[in-house]
Structure 1
Amino acid sequence: MSTTTVGFIGLGIMGGPMAANLLAAGFDVIGYNRSLPARQRLADRGGHAAASVAEVAGVADVVVTMLPDAEAVEAVTLGADGILANARPGTLHIDCSTIAPEAARTIFGRAADREVGALDAPVSGGDQGAAEASLSIMVGGRETDFRAARPVLDAMGRTVVHVGPAGTGQTVKAANQLVVAGMIQAVAEGIVFLDAHGVDTEAAVRVLSGGLAGNAVLDRKAGGMLRRDFTPGGRLELHHKDLGIAQDAAREVGAAIPAGATVAQLMGAMVARGDGALDHSALLTLVEELSGRGEQ
């Protein structure tokens, strides 16, 4: 697989470092992003910058997409100038975006009609996990396609698991986003609670991290929360979108997600007031406001 040409579409906060890790693993990478600077960064790292999605799909053995929503994925995959219209039979499409399970199943079916393999392989771990190639990747699709994709996936992630047929990767990602949202909200509430009592929050976070309350949000997000640094790694607007996917999927099967629904409303309020581009850890600021504390 070291001579495999991997196309990468979507070279943003997550996609850029993921493509860089593929280059580091020895793959020949050709990438496309709407913004020229993102394409140039890939070229500077030794990759090839393409002028269009069609150019990528026409030469790649494997095409990875990392895009913000289903509308973008469907346009890039199913459009007249998209992946399926230009890919050769036998090409493999790996979508690492977060979209609805039904949308993933639709793409799988359309890809099969063109003799193209398709995997829904959303990721978790944020920009840090993308940079460190330590992402958790939950993969839906055919077992044979998963095995063929494994070297590419292993170059981007540390925990790579085939979870079932097409669409199941996105179902697992929806559950992931429910859990992460709940943890961010809980950590935000804990920090505000401690601060209100005058406790040294940095010391408190250290000891909480070593006990049963320890979790990845404390490890990766609490420091930024304490510094009030909400530079986006996982944007609020995207996490809010993901929780909408989870709510729709839960409604389909009658699963109750009251905590997830509550955090979705809180995130929605922040997006509505113009904070959607902040990191999802900025939920801390809303908890502070609800506590009457505001910016300290």
Structure 2
Amino acid sequence: MSNIAFIGLGIMGLPMSINLVTAGHTVVGFNRSSAKVEQLVAAGGSGASTIAEAVADADIVVTMVPDSPDVEAVVTGEDGVFAHAKAGALWIDFSSIRPDVASRLSAEARDAGLRPLDAPVSGGEPGAIDGVLSIMVGGDPDDFAAAAEVLDIVGKTIVHVGPSGAGQTVKAANQLIVAVNIQALAEAVTFLEAYGVDTDAALRVLGGGLAGSKVLEQKGQKMLDRSFDPGFRLELHNKDLGIVTAAAREAGVVVPLGSAVAQLVSALVARGDGGLDHSGLFKLAGELSGRSNG
């Protein structure tokens, strides 16, 4: 069992860190909110008051924070991971950030004597709780193999997709697919309700055919219940779609559906709905048709 420093105990990070504790690893958590650290301690982990303290004895350093600037803030500078983690430690970044930033930070990590992996995840809070996340990993193949003791505990579908930055590129594609699917589901449910169809029955039969998907399974009932407590917040999906559209433009790739959904997500965030689950796209789908889906 390894000594693991886990930085970022949010909606995803906390259950992931607890799963590592349950598996027998020694986990030291650091988070801006002390309440989350206390939850990790209650589960058998321990807490640190600084990043330096958290990573001092770590064989593996994990980061799980919201955005590119957040990752840079915790790993660089005098108080960051690179300055205080011991040489040879693995650094696994489960955050979803820009591929170019992931590549640059990976190079800086190697200069600092660390072994970096960009390993963004998909599966939302339920996947984090159950330890069945899909993980797309960029980095050195040997480092990927060495990280199995962590990856196998928090994930189910774990694939090495290429060099540093590749994991983030695949995650961007994932977020494009998810957003478009949620919007399509939101429009379909709005359409069904307009005709007075038994929507529970409709989603059950649709889920058994070609229209079936993880999005339908996990988000359909939330829409029917008008329950938008966040498993993955719209404000974070807004950030991810910004990554998608910028990266697509740089590559000369046109993403018309992705761009349209990105604007819808941005509209919800701009009006104050960024804290809702991304299934909250259903609210706007209804409003555009003059209906209340809230």
TM-score scaled by length of structure 1: 0.98
Q: 1:5 corresponds to which letter in structure 2?
A: N
Tell me by how many angstroms 1:295 deviates: 4.1
Choose which of 240, 243, 252 in structure 1 pairs with 2:241: 243
Tell me by how many angstroms 1:147 deviates: 0.7
Cα distance in 2, alignment partners of residues 192 and 24 from structure 1? 42
Choose which of 29, 48, 53 in structure 2 pairs with 1:31: 29
Tell me by how many angstroms 1:52 deviates: 1.0
Structure 1 residues 1-296: aligned runs within 5 Å: 2=1, 4-295=2-293
Query: Among the aligned pairs, what percent are the same residue?
Result: 56
Cα distance in 2, alignment partners of residues 48 and 27 from structure 1? 11
Deviations 1:206-258 (A, max 9, x none): 00000000000111111111000000011000001000001111111111110
Tell me by how many angstroms 1:294 deviates: 1.8
For structure 1, which runs of at least 5 residues remain unmatched after alignment? none
- Retained in 1: the 8 A contact 2:226–2:293? no
Cα distance in 2, alignment partners of residues 79 and 126 from structure 1? 30
Cα distance in 2, alignment partners of residues 220 and 7 from structure 1? 31
- Retained in 2: the 8 A contact 1:139–1:161? yes
Deviations 1:141-178 (A, max 9, x none): 01111011111111100001000000000000000000
Tell me by how many angstroms 1:56 deviates: 1.1
Q: Secondary structure at the match of 1:229?
A: coil
The count of residues paired between Structure 1 and Structure 2 equals 294
Tell me by how many angstroms 1:79 deviates: 2.2
- Retained in 1: the 8 A contact 2:21–2:27? yes
Q: Secondary structure at the match of 1:274?
A: helix
Q: 2:274 corresponds to which letter in structure 1?
A: G
- Retained in 2: the 8 A contact 1:57–1:82? no
- Retained in 1: the 8 A contact 2:282–2:293? no
Tell me by how many angstroms 1:61 deviates: 0.6
Deviations 1:248-287 (A, max 9, x none): 1111111111000000000000000000000000000000
Cα distance in 1, alignment partners of residues 27 and 135 from structure 2? 20
Runs (4+) off by over 3 Å: none
Q: Secondary structure at the match of 1:38?
A: helix
Q: Secondary structure at the match of 1:64?
A: strand
- Retained in 2: the 8 A contact 1:208–1:214? yes
For structure 2, which runs of at least 5 residues remain unmatched after alignment? none
Q: Secondary structure at the match of 2:215?
A: helix
Q: Secondary structure at the match of 1:273?
A: helix
